[in-house]
Structure 1
């Protein structure tokens, strides 16, 4: 069993800056909560899109494509076209 220091208020327990560690953890927790809220907002938007008759899967593909560099998108589309033709599609 590990013996932990009795004084939890010591600013540098075991060589660790406790205040800095606490700050990092708390900031990360806040960002995770924000991410959770944003994910819910995105889900709501996709539900709205689906209700309006849009294909959510295609919308997600478009969003993914818009994040990429145009040259990378063009190369991928060219290869896809070549592969389709090779397969007679």
Structure 2
């Protein structure tokens, strides 16, 4: 069977607009991903500075996580952690 030539058929305006919107949104995601990479590099640099200043970065990361939590959620997590530590004799 011979290869068939396909002739592009112009899309109706509503499809073209949808395609343009999709392209716009994809480009937006790509820009945001690039910004995210830049921010990740900045955060990594800050942690490197913290390490160079003699701080324990694992502890600093934990503090950042705790500060991000709502106070009630943090209290609940710490209470459960205390129960688990007591059960395992880690106090």
Verify same fold: TM over 0.5.
yes
- Band of TM-score, shorter chain: 0.7 to 0.9
TM-score when scaled to structure 1?
0.81
Structure 1, unpaired ranges of 5+: none
The equivalent residue for 2:74 is 73
Higher strand residue share: 1
Secondary structure of the residue aligned to 1:35 is helix
Aligned residues of 1:10 and 1:18 also touching (Cα < 8 A): no
- Unpaired stretches in structure 2, ≥5 consecutive residues: none
Q: Show the 5 A alignment for 1:21-60.
A: 21-60=22-61
For this pair of structures, how many residues does the alignment match?
85
TM-score by length of 2: 0.79
Distance between the aligned counterparts of 1:83 and 1:20, measured in 2?
52
Residue number in structure 2 paired with 1:6: 8
